[in-house]
Amino acid sequence: LAKAFMAKRDYSSAIAELKLAVLQNPTGAAEHRVLGQVLLLTNQPQEALRELRVTVELDPDSAIAHRYLGTALFETQDLESAAREFRQALRLDPSADNHYYLAACLMSLGRDDEALAELQIASTMNPTQTLYRARMDELRKLMQSRSSR
């Protein structure tokens, strides 16, 4: 039922259904993760953090759980912790997307060289994804402007 509400973008009803699902199955990592995702979508990062931390405790080998926890930490400006979660997601699933998420976090931390390396890997892994190359070009320009000051 929560999926149907989400498809209709009725997030408050989806959250209510997911909270009920969590109550019925408190050890269900998927229920906590999806609730965390919807809370992120509705700009409730603190609440999402709580659910996503539980998700990672219940399923520490889930790359997607670590990625969403990293996203929630990023949204709350806990960038170092976010980077750790994105690295964990990358360790579990070395996908182009996970390299990209780590790169975005590293850029926010001002670790441009590391971010550029991650973007290069992402772009090499998925050359059809123009977003990776665009972010890489933006970062190179930013780095050049900083070095010319």
Summarised one tens digit per residue, pLDDT across range 38-55 is: 999 999 999 999 999 999
For residue 77, give the nearest of 43, 113, 45 by alpha carbon.
45
What's the pTM value of the predicted model, to 2 decimals?
0.90
**pLDDT tens-digit series, residues 86-136:** 999 999 999 999 999 999 999 999 999 999 999 999 999 999 999 999 999
Task: Assign 131 to helix, strand or coil.
Answer: helix
- Alpha-carbon distance of 113 to 97, in angstroms, equals 18
Map tokens 């050359």 to a residue: 127
- Alpha-carbon distance of 54 to 146, in angstroms, equals 41
Residue type, position 86, single letter: F
For residue 8, the model assigns a pLDDT of 76
